[in-house]
Amino acid sequence: MGIHKGQAVPHAQLTIMSEDGPSPIDAAELLADGKSVVFAVPGAFTPTCSAKHLPGFIDKADQILQKGVDRIVCMAVNDVFVMNAWGKSAGVDGQIIMAADGNADFTQALGLEMDGRGFGMGLRSQRFALIVQDGTVEDVLVEAPGEFRVSSADHILSVL
């Protein structure tokens, strides 16, 4: 069973790239204040993630932020260097926080992991989005296997 509406964001380490290099941050602390949209992808640089998911949030970031969202976080079970390189290559330009869940600690704490070994990817995150207000989950939008709909930027805009 995964995380549900009304539950607190669990404590687990994520890593973001700062000017000083990799910077660990507790997910619960990152999402403690204000409204956050977190979207998770199975892997950086993978086809749907790179062609649709991240670009959709880049294109719609201003509209999402205008709906009262304080931060948009893209998360994947990848290392911080990969997430940083992916963000740079996609042109996030500081609009989206690229958060690495290198050991899948946050993903597992949410109960939203998937077994990607059949694709040579190991333990990964399911494709999902969370809407979080002051550290409490307001909405959990988990994609069915192979789908890309409810965690898209367009769908998030429709439910904010």
Which residues are part of the catalytic machinery? 49
108, containing H or E segment? helix 105-110
Token reading at 97: 């926080």
Q: How far apart are CA 19 and CA 79, in angstroms?
A: 17
Report whether 99 contacts 74 (CB < 8 A): yes
DSSP lists the bridge partners of residue 139 as 131
In sequence order, which residues have a C-beta less than 8 Å from that of residue 78 and are 6 or more positions away? 43, 44, 86, 100, 101, 102
Three-state secondary-structure class, residue 3: coil
Nearest to 37 by CA among 15, 67, 59: 67
